[in-house]
Chain A
Amino acid sequence: MRFYSRIFTNFTLKKPYQSLEDNSTKNMIQVIYRQLTSKIPFLGLVILLTFSTSLTAQEGDPAKGKTLFNTNCAACHNLDRKMTGPALRNVQARLEDEHGLDIDWMRSWIRNSAGMVKAGDAYANQIYTEYSGTAMTAFPQLSDQDIADILAYTAEPLPVDDGGDDDKDDDDKAAGTDGVSNQLILGALAILFCLLAMALILVRKTLNRFAEEKGIEAVKEDKSLPLWKAFVQNQFLVLVTAIFFLLASAYFVYGYLSQIGVDQGYEPVQPIHFSHRIHAGDNGIDCKYCHSSARVSKTSGIPSLNICMNCHKSVYEVAADTHKEGLNEYGIDYNAEIKKLYAAAGWDDVEQKYTGDSKPVKWVRIHNLPDFAYFNHSQHVEVAGVQCQTCHGPVEEMEVMYQHAPLTMGWCINCHRETNVRVEDNAYYTKIHEELSKKYGVDKLTAAQMGGLECGKCHY
């Protein structure tokens, strides 16, 4: 971790980029924005049009600009937060107001910023040093129209969050009524049962009373032996029952004993809630992206935090839908979990740099083979080409990771007996493979036939 921290902390900011609200008292948008929040979309449009007509020679199309921005600029710039480069909302107006720089300056900066720094342009050099000498990539292919489009997109006002809370309430209500109706049905059934029982008792009482009135004696119980005494006297029956009980209890005891040490279904709570469902399932990230050492080593490897940060430097919060889904269905605030990651990796999201204050995450190990059994990931993943899911189950559907396979010896052996070995394109062993095939009289060799059941393969 520390190594990578050093790599990424190259840029330091002397002065954080001032936000729009702080710096532009003269700016029309701000005033309107604060006072008339309800009319923002309309006013925003008006201002947008005014700006794009008055300040740019060409009218920009914000929709096209968004596409261009996302393909070309978004790797380093966000509209409202600092990334590798500064935040860009209203960049044109800000540069115009604060530094008196016009659209021509912006065009030449975008097309060749390094050239401007070299040529000694004052503001170009200021920005360059402010971002610790990270040169902006040149975009000579962008036309004047493209640049106007991008600037029009950056001049769009911040969209107002119209709160997605309503849906959530509805969901809650629906879930609530569902639970209530279930309970209601159960309660009604219980009451019905009680009534039936009472009715039966009443009927019996009335019948007894009738019988008494008519002078009929209730049938007296047989004076013969009570049932249990008869049972005890019948030795054969006692023997059979005893055997049955012994067998039944042996069966249960055996069942209990043989699951000792088997952790199938073990699902511990992890220090950071990591959803394999989202990462491997929805986003389709390959298992080996994070567990890269499964290709080359005995251990499959828990990714170090710099691998998380490969993506989470850019992915600082989950999509609104995902966030809602997490809260409603799993009771997890995904954004808070990302914050936990930042805290552990020592990443300052505001300043966009590592603080160097990192702490290890204590993940709870799930799959744990006993020490007396040897297992090697690379042998299975790279050489045999076994899919991760074969042993680990449908990880891409697991919100919380659990142990899918029993990891017992019988389970290992079974797979070795059933799985054919990939012998193609393995010139070195062709001869021995042919001989073995002849010996067993089969076309395809299983791992077991190649010695995969020998004790010493896994226990030594």
Chain B
Amino acid sequence: MVFATVVACKKDTRPNYQFMPNMYEPVPYEAYQEASVFPNGVEAMLPAEGSIPRGGHMPFEIENTTEGYELAKATLKSPLDSMKIDANRGKELYDIYCGICHGNKGKGQGKLVKREKILGVPSYDDAGRAITEGSIYHTIYYGKNAMGSYANQLNEEERWQVVDYVLKLKADLEK
């Protein structure tokens, strides 16, 4: 009981003692570690330019410009065939990353919008935007206007799953 109280009441701003720290501290570099071998001591660095991650993710070559957006909107198509599309996963990812602003139905009424933290989130059936799979992917990859890029939270395959789910929401809204 004393042990429990000692532990439970210890709400400290300093870490506890360690027994034989040699076995606690890692020899190799750990994620986010500060180490003199890296520039400015920051281990969390960007991959070298032009590097391609494992898993066959190809670099995205359309540029982050208005022209690039139009090009993607007109020509870019999803590489996922009907077998690879997993609506459940698309929904799961959409609800985490997009639903907070765009709303779980895609009407632009997410929780942050309802609480007036972020405003002006359009509905997916907005006529002036007329989004396509290519433009959705371009927007997820680079962001658009006030929306930021989601390229580092979702990998290529996940992005296309989300794109497919967004198209499904758009179709539901247009019914």
Contact = CB atoms under 8 A, between A and B. Distances in A.
Contact of B16 (A139, A251, A261, A304): A261
B115 A283 contact: yes
Contact of B6 (A2, A259, A282, A315): A259
B127 A140 contact: yes
B143 interface: yes
Interface in A1-55: 1-4, 7-8, 10
B10 interface: yes
A309 interface: yes
Interface stretch (A221-229, A284-292, A447-455): A284-292
B44 to A, nearest CB: 7
Contacts of B149: 4, 7, 306, 310
A371 B26 contact: yes
B59 interface: no
Given A7-B149, A268-B13, A315 B111 contact: no
A265 B12 contact: yes
B3 A266 contact: no
Contact of B153 (A134, A265, A307, A319): A307
Given A74-B120, A262-B7, A292-B153, A84 B24 contact: no
Contacts, number: 177
A315 B118 contact: yes
A260 B6 CA distance: 11
Interface in B59-81: 64-66
B112 A75 contact: no
B153 A289 contact: yes
A394 to B, nearest CB: 15
A282 B111 CA distance: 10
A370 B65 CA distance: 47
A56 interface: no
By DSSP majority rule, is chain A's interface helix, strand, loop, or mixed? loop
B58 interface: no
How many of chain B's residues touch chain A, expressed as a range?
A: 35 or more
A319 B119 CA distance: 14
Nearest to B24: A370
A233 interface: no
Given A4-B149, A258-B3, A268-B13, A72 B122 contact: yes
Interface in B107-128: 108, 111-112, 115-122, 126-128
B23 A371 contact: yes
A189 B46 CA distance: 65
A266 B27 CA distance: 24
A302 B32 contact: yes
Contacts of B42: 360
A84 B146 contact: yes
B18 interface: yes
Contacts of B153: 289, 292, 307
B36 interface: no
A133 B154 CA distance: 28
Nearest to B44: A304
Contacts of A259: 3, 6-7, 10, 16
Interface in A240-281: 251-252, 254-256, 258-269
B134 to A, nearest CB: 17
A284 B111 contact: yes
B23 A75 contact: no
A58 to B, nearest CB: 21
A342 interface: no
B7 A406 contact: yes
A311 interface: yes
A124 to B, nearest CB: 15
Interface string A73-90: 111110000011000000
A292 B93 CA distance: 10
Contacts of A282: 115
Contacts of B120: 70-77
Instruction: Specify which of A75, A252, A265, A286 lies most central, judged by the most chain B CB atoms within 10 Å of its CB.
Output: A75
A261 B146 contact: no
Contacts of A439: none
A264 B8 contact: yes
Contacts of A135: 66
A365 interface: yes
Contacts of B26: 371
Nearest to A286: B96
B128 A138 contact: yes
B51 interface: no
B146 A313 contact: yes
Instruction: Specify which of B11, B65, B142 lies most central, judged by the most chain A CB atoms within 10 Å of its CB.
Output: B11
A269 B149 CA distance: 30
A141 interface: yes
A75 B96 CA distance: 20
Contacts of B97: 286, 289, 292
A311 B117 contact: yes
Contacts of A137: 122, 128-129
Contacts of B44: 304, 360
Given A76-B146, A406-B7, A263 B119 contact: no
A299 interface: yes
A262 B9 CA distance: 13
23 contacts: A7-B149, A72-B122, A75-B122, A76-B145, A134-B145, A139-B128, A140-B127, A251-B2, A261-B16, A264-B7, A265-B9, A267-B13, A268-B13, A283-B111, A289-B96, A299-B31, A304-B44, A307-B152, A365-B32, A370-B24, A371-B23, A371-B25, A372-B23
Given A70-B119, A292-B97, 13 more contacts: A8-B148, A133-B66, A137-B128, A261-B17, A267-B11, A286-B95, A286-B97, A289-B100, A307-B152, A307-B153, A314-B146, A360-B42, A371-B26
Q: Which 10 A-B pairs have the closest CB atoms?
A: A75-B120, A74-B120, A74-B119, A310-B148, A255-B3, A292-B153, A371-B26, A370-B24, A138-B128, A265-B11
